[in-house]
Amino acid sequence: MEKIKLGISTCLLGEPVRYDGGHKLDRFLKDTLGQYVEYVPVCPEVECGLGTPRESMHLEGETGALRLVTSRTKMDLTDRMLSWSNKRVRELEAEELCGFIFKSNSPSSGMERVRVLDPKGVPHKTGVGIFAGVFMHHFPLIPVEDEGRLHDVSLRENFIERLFAFQRWRQTLTPGRKTVRLE
């Protein structure tokens, strides 16, 4: 059986791509799950041209009008990240991913509950990272999860089952493949 292809936030594989030049290596994802899947690493910040190390960023604004802004200099990187994200998801179509593992709490890759500063500067855990949002909108059927939630055994098991189900479903759509018809 061919390995399942999964997109993953690059820092989770131990690559030093984070704003501080560090990584967020997740041993379970790299060493355990990594034996059974083929990862397609994605780092939105580095791939859209931001260096390492770099100034940290956060989301700010109100739902529906969130902005990606650097913390110290207040540079708005929203349009740059959106443009790159839309291009990158089109490229990822060719990868035939069966799932994606995002970096939790990231303003670019957080799947849910990302910190957003409201107009008064008060933080709320209501955001979705810019790239993660574009990805989930572009690929609404692909199973996604963040690494933090995968530490919960039942959520991890559910995610892995969804990956295999999605892979089997995709294989049934392969042209030339014999399918069984129930009549």
The percentage of residues in the chain with a pLDDT greater than 90, rounded to a whole number, is 87
**Please, what is the average pLDDT of the chain?**
93
In which band, very low, low, confident or very high, does the pLDDT at 177 lie, cut at 50, 70 and 90? low
pLDDT of residue 20: 94
User: How far is the C-alpha of 132 from the C-alpha of 103, rounded, in Å?
Assistant: 9
User: pLDDT, tens digit, for every residue of 7-29?
Assistant: 999 999 999 999 999 999 999 99
pLDDT at residue 178 above 70? no
95-120 as b/e: b if 16+ CB within 10 A: eebbbbbbbbbbbbbbbbbbbbbeee
Q: Which pTM was predicted?
A: 0.91
In which band, very low, low, confident or very high, does the pLDDT at 181 lie, cut at 50, 70 and 90? very low
User: How far is the C-alpha of 69 from the C-alpha of 60, rounded, in Å?
Assistant: 7
Which among 153, 74, 144, 68 has a CA at the least distance from the CA of 104?
Answer: 144
31 contact partners, CB below 8 Å, separation of at least 6: none
CATH numbers and ranges of domains, the chain: 4-54+79-110+130-172 (3.40.50)
